[in-house]
A and B are shown apart, each in its own frame.
Chain A
């Protein structure tokens, strides 16, 4: 399909391990966003990429979180030394203008 895809769909990891989450945006979309949604909470903005500009990292909760976007397309969100409070659904979205198109999310569980 032509939508946003994310992998893996589910990830269970042990506390202290590193994880990588992947997002494939819609082809041609210049903007890419990462959000997370903890249980019972709203969408929490993490990071935003727009074209070749420096990313807006203002939402990253700690320096254990980082993200890259290679070639203006695929993005990887990395969480180092995972903690139990990192357990959440991580959502990626892409856009060309205002409307954002979301992937199905990655459910991360840190034991």
Chain B
């Protein structure tokens, strides 16, 4: 039973346009969400996070939106750049637990020049 789902295995976006990566979760106890980015042959690196008390968090070109009623979050990248081509993982946690992240399967983002 996947508690965190990224239903799009891949996404192709034109350079300069907006990339929107989606993530759905089933456990309403999750109260903190993170996005990680992974390049080939490297470990994932933290990108941006959001607490469940917020519905938006912005950091430069990256914005994460959280819709608690729909149990859905999305990562917006604008404008998309070639260096954004990577696999993006969504992760969720119930911070009163043992700090174990529950991971989505990842979405491969390809930015076309």
Q: Which A residues form the contact surface with B (CB < 8 A)?
A: 4, 31, 33, 35, 41-43, 45, 48, 50, 56, 91, 93, 95, 97-105, 107
Residue on A with the closest CB to B2?
A42
A86 nearest CB across to chain B (Å)? 19
- Excluding A35-B103, A104-B43, A105-B43, 8 further A-B contacts by CB distance (< 8 Å) are A31-B99, A43-B106, A93-B43, A99-B46, A99-B49, A100-B46, A104-B42, A105-B42
> Please, how many angstroms separate the alpha-carbon atoms of A93 and B103 in the complex?
13
Q: Does B78 sit at the interface, judged by CB under 8 A?
A: no
Q: Does B101 sit at the interface, judged by CB under 8 A?
A: yes
- Which chain B residues (1-48) contact chain A, with CB distance < 8 Å? 6, 32, 34, 36, 41-46
Q: Which B residues form the contact surface with A (CB < 8 A)?
A: 6, 32, 34, 36, 41-46, 49, 89, 93, 95, 98-101, 103-106
Also in contact, A103 and B43, with CB within 8 A (given A50-B99, A98-B93): yes
Main secondary structure of the interface of A (DSSP, over half): strand
Contact present for B43 and A42 (CB under 8 Å): no
For the complex of A and B, list the 3 residue pairs with the smallest distance between their C-beta atoms, beginning with the closest: A102-B43, A42-B105, A43-B103
> Please, how many angstroms separate the alpha-carbon atoms of A103 and B103 in the complex?
17
Q: Which chain A residues lie closer than 8 Å to B103 at the CB level?
A: 35, 42-43, 45
Residue on A with the closest CB to B9?
A40
